[in-house]
Amino acid sequence: MRTLQFGIEIETVGISRQALAQAIRGVVAAPTDQPFDSLTYDSGPVIDARGRKWRVVYDGSLSNSSFSGEIVSPPLGYDDIELLQQVVRAVRAAGARVDETCGIHIHVGAHQFDAKSLANLVKMVHKQEQLLQHALGVSERRLARYCRPIDPEFMRRLEASPPRTLQDLNRAWYGHRNDAPGRYDQTRYHGLNLNSFFFRGTIEFRYFNGTLHAGQIKAYVQFVLALAAKALGAKAASSKRRVFNVATAKYDWRVFLLGLGLIGEEFKTARHHLTQHLAGSAAWKGERRDRRVGAASEPARTALAAPQEHPADGSEHHD
């Protein structure tokens, strides 16, 4: 996951695009000021100390066209996550906020992916998608329009004829061969967007509600990178959709996160943010035996917990 590049789009309201650009400029040590273009509603790019362009652009889906904007990062690496967090904190301190119209999109550079690894990614997401949507608290408004679930017809085509080439995957995604996909093709409005792959060479994840919480954004980036890395390394993936079970969801999701490699102290905060919307225990599947009504109190009996009741990563019961 540390070898993959990513980019992020963060939608905000509350302050102007000029103010957003100025807040970013104060963090990334831009050498010069760039003007705001009142005709295109875009600020000039903010150039960071490494010559990369951070942009703040107009987004017509947001609630206030004058006091809103979308932050578009340049391609970033894993070591840039802390810089990204500093940018998020700076724009929040400048007065930016989010509302129900805002979302976050994360792109992963796809040059390492072939048809097999992309199909692996699709199957992994499809299998866990209901759990993922609940874990991220995706709003009904966004699920209905801007980040719809994976298209069942796409999955049917993918399963009926496993893609051997990227052209095969292209046909499965669009339902026909599309050699010149447009940026705003209607297939883009899914939580996992492969139109972005065929249009610009990135895999886009659109599931995330808007936030300016730097810790949550770091968790989202780590999750996406870990998921992409898992798909690259997997020999094969199952696409059988997991039925969402509210009673075990938090445990099931935590086990999935650990399977992606989000283990240990480094990812403790990520696990917290990625499981906080789910009910139940992250460490125990179902009700703990030692807490059931009428359970034996003797230490010898309470020690005989079933294997599935042990902490999912062998650590303390709670992060």
Q: Residue with structure tokens 């298209």?
A: 151
Q: Where are the domains of the chain?
A: 6-233, 249-309
The pair of structure tokens assigned to 192 is 């996992």
Instruction: Tell me the C-alpha to C-alpha distance, in Å, between residue 205 and each of 149, 200, 210, 249.
Output: 11, 14, 13, 21
Residue type for 293, please? V
pLDDT at 286 over 70: no
Bridge partners, residue 109, by sequence: 202
Q: Please state the rounded mean pLDDT for residues 250-254.
A: 94
Q: Cα-flanking dihedrals φ and ψ of residue 209, to 5°?
A: -65, 160
The SS3 call for residue 34 is coil
pLDDT at 300 over 70: no
Torsion of CA 71, 232, 142, 238, to 10 degrees: -170
Q: By mean pLDDT, which of 95-99, 213-217, 296-300 is the weakest? A: 296-300
User: Higher pLDDT residue, 178 or 319?
Assistant: 178
Give the integer Cα–Cα distance in Å for 82 and 95. 20
The pair of structure tokens assigned to 82 is 């802390």
**Residue-averaged pLDDT of the chain:** 87
DSSP 182: -
The pair of structure tokens assigned to 200 is 């610009």
Give the integer Cα–Cα distance in Å for 236 and 127. 13
Give the integer Cα–Cα distance in Å for 272 and 103. 20
pLDDT tens digit sequence for 158-176: 999 999 999 999 999 999 9
Based on the number of CB atoms within 10 Å of its own CB, is 302 exposed (0-12), middle (13-18) or buried (19 or more)?
Answer: middle
Most confident of 43-47, 225-229, 315-319: 225-229
Report pLDDT for 299: 42
For the chain, percent of residues with pLDDT exceeding 90? 72
Report pLDDT for 40: 47
Report pLDDT for 97: 96
Instruction: Tell me the C-alpha to C-alpha distance, in Å, between residue 93 and each of 89, 97, 280.
Output: 6, 9, 34
The pTM is what? 0.86
The pair of structure tokens assigned to 93 is 């301190």
pLDDT at 234 over 50: yes
Q: Please state the rounded mean pLDDT for residues 289-315.
A: 41
pLDDT at 292 over 60: no
Q: How many CB atoms neighbour CB 314 within 10 A?
A: 8
pLDDT tens digit sequence for 27-57: 997 665 555 554 444 567 899 999 999 999 9
pLDDT tens digit sequence for 70-123: 999 999 999 999 999 999 999 999 999 999 999 999 999 999 999 999 999 999
Report pLDDT for 137: 95
Q: How many CB atoms neighbour CB 89 within 10 A?
A: 15
Bridge partners, residue 124, by sequence: none
The pair of structure tokens assigned to 120 is 């692996």
Taking each helix axis from N to C end, the angle separating 268-275 and 115-136, rounded to the nearest 10 degrees, works out to: 70
pLDDT at 307 over 60: no
